[in-house]
Structure 1
Amino acid sequence: MSKTSALGAHKANVSPSVRLCLASIVEGNETSVPSMLSRQAKAGASAQEEGGPPLSLCVVGAGLEHVNGIYQLDSEHCGKPQYRKSGGDFLINWEDGDTPHCWAITDDIDRVGIYTINGDQPLPPREGWEPYYATSPAPTIEYNL
């Protein structure tokens, strides 16, 4: 199966911005996209039925291109879900330190906030992110691939 057909086989099941996300990860492993979508659909349904956090997020539209992509549920940080970018060094997590409480997309190496949004939401907000140490535009986030 070609890279294009691996993505095309699932076009009808995902939104346009998630298609962009998928296109960015198809480069090296043609079979990973269909199997990942299948696993996420099955696991996501049960996680949502149990009220759990989304198993994956898709970050799109960030001015810092390396931030865009798929983030998998990784662990918990400060009592909220933490997501790690697939094949990358970026995290999405909630910070409750000395600064205002916020969600942040950070560099995993030195934990520098790249994009942030103030608040105490249980999950990373879909919109409203602002550049912290990054270029505009700020990204948006989609839940559950």
Structure 2
Amino acid sequence: MNANVISPEQRLFVGVIVNAAQEAAGSVVTRDRPEKASAARDDARSWFADGGEDFAAVCELAGLEPKEVQSRVLAYLRRVEQDPNARAKVKRTNMPPRHRDASIPDVARHAGVSPTTVSNVIHDRPNVTPATRARVVAAIEATGYRHNVH
């Protein structure tokens, strides 16, 4: 097994650490209640600074060394205090983005026809010219559309 691959459970706890670091750096903004964001920031900072049992447990569940996490996050927070532009842009996952399935309107836009025309092609109705049918079929393949038969 690749040493860089982590389990979904580890990924979850890494996310907890990353979210807490973002809160501690002041990256989380609550528009309606700024004092709430300030309290969350202070709580997150003390979670890292104190390095208590719950912090250690989360780090271990993430497969990370608690002292190393604490050291790195506190150094990051010091950098952010000196330069707020030093806030890290966090990539939420290493998985490809989820895409919704293509819909009939998506196919229609791709083919340059109406959704009704796409439906007529899907249901093999005869009122579509061969050239338009070919365009729609090509758009279906290009978009990955799959007809959902109930």
TM-score by length of 2: 0.20
Q: Per residue, is there more helix in 1 or in 2? A: 2
Comparing both chains, which one has the higher relative contact order based on Cα–Cα distances under 8 Å and sequence gaps of 6 or more?
1
The structure with the larger Rg is 2
